[in-house]
């Protein structure tokens, strides 16, 4: 680094902090033991000093630093002071972990959206793929129902009459983006039909039905008219006939969405 004062970045890591971490990891592999020698101890201390004096860093820098702490890379296995105490303010005030918690899912959604864009580019000639399904889920999860409704409605219009069926496979990590009903639906499906745990296709949801579900939820949250929900019910009927044979979770989600609409309409009347 030549002791340069300027800040440089590699992807989403601060260059100097990442260099310290990688150097320590390489030492651990070469020596095949924890850092007992003085040279290793000095390097760990330099890493901690660099971290504590950094005025600008990414959330990934904090995660890597805490990973090093958990692996007991610090000298003599001493636990370094809390990063909250060591780290200078990133913006103003103390390091707020709630901001880090918020940044992690947002970053994940951005990467998932990028993945969707690549899928649409590579396989768009085979099936119609929308790229904002994860963004719509994230908007709903954080309570931005108007934006979620906008994205979901766009997706429904794009997917109805589109080519083929594009689906979303469910993994446990995606629970962070689901609402309670979706979590229960996926969980109950796996409990009732254990084969679903082995065959991910059985717990896949088409982008169209996911968009219809989110669209319905947002319409009810925003107190839309019965006419608006009735239109969504028409979309569901059209989608059912277009897609033909549905996967297990698709069928259940479709029935759940229909029941929600019918209940909403009956109560409103």
pLDDT bucket at 35, cuts 50 / 70 / 90? very low
pLDDT digits (tens, 9 = 90+) for 42-51: 778 888 888 8
Q: Is the pLDDT confidence value at 92 over 80? A: no
Distance CA 215, CA 146 (A): 10
- Residues 6 or more apart whose Cβ sits within 8 Å of residue 261: 216, 229, 230, 232, 233, 236
- What is the SS3 assignment for 245? coil
Write out the two tokens for 131: 């790229």
Task: Supply the pTM of this predicted model.
Answer: 0.63
Query: How many Cβ atoms sit within 10 Å of the Cβ of residue 39?
Result: 10
46-73 in b/e burial notation, b at 16+ Cβ within 10 A?
ebbebbeebeebbbbbbebbeebeeeeb
Q: Quick check: 115 and 132 in contact, CB under 8 A?
A: no
pLDDT digits (tens, 9 = 90+) for 190-234: 777 777 767 666 677 889 999 999 999 999 999 999 999 999 999
């Amino acid at each position: 680094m030549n002791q340069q004062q300027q800040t440089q970045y590699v992807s989403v890591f601060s260059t100097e902090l990442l260099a310290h971490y990688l150097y320590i990891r390489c030492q651990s592999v070469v020596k095949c033991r924890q850092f007992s020698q003085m040279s290793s101890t000095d390097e760990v201390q330099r890493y901690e000093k660099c971290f504590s004096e950094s005025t600008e860093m990414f959330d990934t820098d904090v995660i890597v630093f805490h990973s090093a702490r958990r692996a007991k890379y610090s000298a003599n296995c001493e636990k370094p002071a809390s990063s909250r105490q060591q780290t200078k303010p990133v913006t103003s005030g103390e390091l707020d972990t709630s901001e880090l918690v918020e940044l992690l899912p947002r970053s994940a959604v951005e990467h998932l959206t990028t993945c969707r864009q690549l899928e649409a580019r590579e396989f768009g000639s085979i099936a119609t793929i929308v790229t904002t399904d994860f963004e719509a889920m994230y908007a709903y999860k954080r309570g931005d129902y108007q934006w979620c409704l906008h994205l979901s409605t766009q997706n429904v219009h794009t997917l109805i009459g589109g080519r083929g069926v594009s689906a979303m496979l469910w993994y446990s990590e995606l629970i962070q983006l689901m609402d309670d009903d979706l979590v229960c639906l996926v969980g109950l499906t796996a409990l009732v039909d254990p084969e679903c745990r082995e065959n991910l296709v059985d717990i896949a949801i088409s982008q169209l039905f996911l968009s219809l579900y989110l669209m319905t939820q947002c319409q009810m949250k925003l107190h839309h008219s019965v006419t608006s929900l009735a239109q969504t019910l028409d979309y569901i009927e059209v989608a059912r006939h277009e897609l033909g044979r549905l996967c297990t979770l698709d069928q259940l989600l479709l029935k759940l969405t229909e029941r929600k609409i019918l209940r909403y309409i009956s109560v409103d009347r």
